A and B are shown apart, each in its own frame.
Chain A
Amino acid sequence: MSNIGSYEERNKNFDWSIAEKELNYKNGDVINIGWYCSDRICEMGKANKLALVWEGLGGIEKKYTFNDIRLKSNTIAAFLKNLGIKNEERVCLFMDKMPELYIGFLGILKMGAIAQPLFSAFGDESLHVRLDNAQTTAIITQRKHVSKVRKIVDRMPYLKHIVIVDYDGKKPLREREISFSMDEAKQVENFDIFPTKAESPSVLHYTSGTTGQPKGVKHVHYSLISQYLTTKWVLDLQEDDIYWCTADPGWVTGTSYGIIGPWSLGITQCVLDTGFSAESWYKFIEKRKITMWYSAPTAIRSLMKAGNEIIKQHDLSSLRHLASVGEPLNAEAVIWSEKVFGKAFLDTYWQTETGSIMLTNFPGMKIKPGSMAKPFPGITATILDPDTYKEIMEPNKPGLIGFRPDWPAMMRTYWRNEETYNKKFVNGWYIPGDRSTIDADGYFWFVGRDDDVINTGGHLVSPFEVESALLEHESVAESAVVAKPDEVNMEVVKAFVTLKPGYEASDDLELQIMNFIRKKLSPLAMPQEIEYMKTLPKTRSGKIMRRVLHAKEWGEEIGDTSTLEDDE
C-alpha cells in the first residue's frame, strides 16, 4: 500500500496541516530543519537507525546513524558559531558528495545561518559570481577545490573563513583558511539550536536565467512542510526503505530530496560519491539493496544506452519504486524502465524556485508515458495564454504553466533581486517559465521552455553567462549561445563566435575555447560545439538575435526576420 493511497481522496480533503500535524508543528512554533532531520528522529526512538551510508571511490564506505548525524551536525554548528558566524549569514558548502556536505548542511541550519550549497564542478568565476551576490561569510570546502577559492579570495573581503574539512597538514594553510575535521573534532552532545521560525531563511540555491547574473533563490524553514509530505506521498518512502537520490546537493533536488525529505522522515539513504558508469550504478543498487531510486532523465538515458545485457548481470530485485526529475522524461525511457526493472520511472516536475514537487505521477496512478501527470494535492496549476495570462480551458492547447503561489516551499525572493522576483508573478500566478498542455484527463504534457535558458542534463545554464565568459577569451570578438538538441542530455550548449583579427578558425582553437569555459564556469556550461561565423545575426540596432541561431539548430522556422541587420 502506498503512502498516498487514493490521489482523488487526498485531493478532496487536502490541507498542508496534514504535514504540520505529523511533524507536531503549530503556527508560531520554532521550526528548524536541522533539528527535524536529526534530533527529532532520535527523540522518536531511531537514534541507532542508519541515516547515511556513503560510498566513495574504491568502495570505501562510511556509515552514520541518526544519532551520529545529530552529534556531528551539533559539532559543525558549534564550530561555525565559535568562528563568530551569526544567524542569517551565508555559509557556502562547496564539496563533492562527501558526508560533511550532507551533515554540514544540517549544522549550518541548526546555528541559524543560511546554507548556500554550490556545485563543486563550478569554476572560479561561477563560484565568485555566486559568493559575491550572497556576500558569503564562510565557505566549507575540501583540499581538492580550495585552489578555486584561492584564485578569487582577494576579490572577496566579506569572505572571512575558508573551512577545509580534509586538511592533511602537508601544505601550510593560507590567510582565512582553517582546518576542521568532522570525525575527529570533539563531539558536541548538546547544542542550543537557533530558534528559527517558519519564515526564517534556510537555503540559498542559485539558478540561471536568460539574462543577468545567476539568481539566489531564497527558501525558508517552513519549506519542510512541503518537502516532508511530497517525499512521503510521491517518493513513497516507508520505514524500511533504502533510498538513493542521485542528485548532487549543489542543486535543489540534492537538498530538498537528498537531505531534507528523507531525513525528516527518518529514512536510511545511500550516497555514491564517484563518477557515472552503468556498471558502478547497478552494482551500487545491488550491494546496498536500494528500494527507492530518485534519478534524472539524463542518467536514465545513459543507462538505456549502456544496454540491457549489463542489467542481467545484477540482482536489482530490491527496487520497488523509481522516480525521475530534472527535465522531461521521454516516453521511451518510461517504457524501457518498466520493461527492464519491472517498474516505470515516475516523472516529477518542479524547479529550484518551487522548492518541492509540483506536478507528478503518483504510485498507483495510471501512467501516460511522457506526461508529468497531475498537480500535487494543494497545488493549483493551470495553463495560461502567453499574451493575456488568462487560463486556457481548451484541452491540448499549449500555454504557460502557472501555479497559485501558496504552498510552503515556494521561494520567498531572489536574493538582492526583488525586481526579477516580482516579474515572475502575473495575475496572481507564479510563472515558472515552462510551456505545457493539459489533456482531457487533466494530465500535463511538457512542451518546452519559454525563454533561452538551456536545460542540459537537468541543469539550467544561462546563455548570457556563457556569452560573457566567451568574450573574455583572447580570440573571441562576439558570441551567441543557444541550446542544441542532444539525445542523452536533452540539450547541450552550442556557441557561435566571430574571431578577432589575427585569429584563425581551427579545431585546436575550438578545443582551447571549450576548455577555457569549462574551467572558468563549469563543465555543464562548456559549449560542446563551437561554430565560427563571419558575422552574427543582429537586429538593426545591433542586438544579437539568438532565436535565429536557435531555430537553425532545431530545424525550426526562423520567423520574422524583418529586423535583421543582413541575411548572411
Chain B
Amino acid sequence: MEDMKDIILEYVIEEYADEEDDDITYDTPLISGGLVDSFSMVSLKRFIENKYKISIPNDKATPDAFDTVNKIEMLIKEFLK
C-alpha cells in the first residue's frame, strides 16, 4: 500500500502547487504558508474523506490540523481507528 503521506503530498502538489513551488515536504506549512487557503482547505478535506472513507467533523478540521502533511496523516489515523 502506498504510503499515506506520499498520497497526500502528491495530491497537494498536483492540485495546489504551481511550477514555482518546489521542495514541498511533509513539514511544509500548507495553510499558514499560504499554499492552501481556507476555502481550498475544504476540497483537501473532501479528498481525504473520499480517499479514506472517513468523515472529519468541522471542529476537527482546523487550519492547524491541516497545516502540514504530517499533521494531516495524524488526523486521518485518528479517524481510521
Contact = CB atoms under 8 A, between A and B. Distances in A.
A46 B31 CA distance: 37
Contacts of B64: 277-279, 306
Contact of A526 (B20, B36, B39, B59): B39
A279 B32 contact: yes
Nearest to B31: A275
A277 B67 contact: yes
A468 interface: no
A276 B63 contact: yes
Contacts of B18: 144-145, 147
A515 B15 contact: yes
A273 B34 CA distance: 8
Contacts of B29: 57, 275
A526 B43 contact: yes
A511 B47 contact: yes
A275 B35 contact: yes
Nearest to B19: A147
A189 to B, nearest CB: 33
Given A279-B64, A528-B42, A57 B19 contact: no
B57 interface: no
A524 B37 CA distance: 9
Interface string B16-49: 0011110000000111111111111011001101
Contact of B42 (A275, A306, A526): A526
Nearest to B50: A507
A274 B34 contact: yes
B33 A275 contact: yes
Overall SS of chain B's interface? loop
Given A144-B21, A528-B42, A523 B50 contact: no
- Size category of the B interface is 20 to 34
B37 to A, nearest CB: 5
Interface string A474-510: 0000000000000100000000000000000001101
A274 B50 contact: no
A337 B42 CA distance: 27
Nearest to A519: B15
Contacts of A508: 50
B38 A57 contact: no
Interface string A105-137: 000000000000000010000000000000000
A241 interface: no
Contacts of A276: 31-32, 37-38, 63
Contacts of A275: 29-38, 63
Given A514-B43, A514-B46, A524-B39, A306 B62 contact: yes
Contact of B40 (A274, A487, A518): A518
B37 A523 contact: yes
A526 B43 CA distance: 9
Contacts of A306: 62, 64
Nearest to A522: B39
A523 B47 contact: no
Nearest to B53: A507
Nearest to B32: A277
Interface of B: 15, 18-21, 29-40, 42-43, 46-47, 49-50, 58-59, 62-64, 67
- Top 3 A-B pairs ranked by shortest CB distance? A523-B39, A275-B34, A277-B32
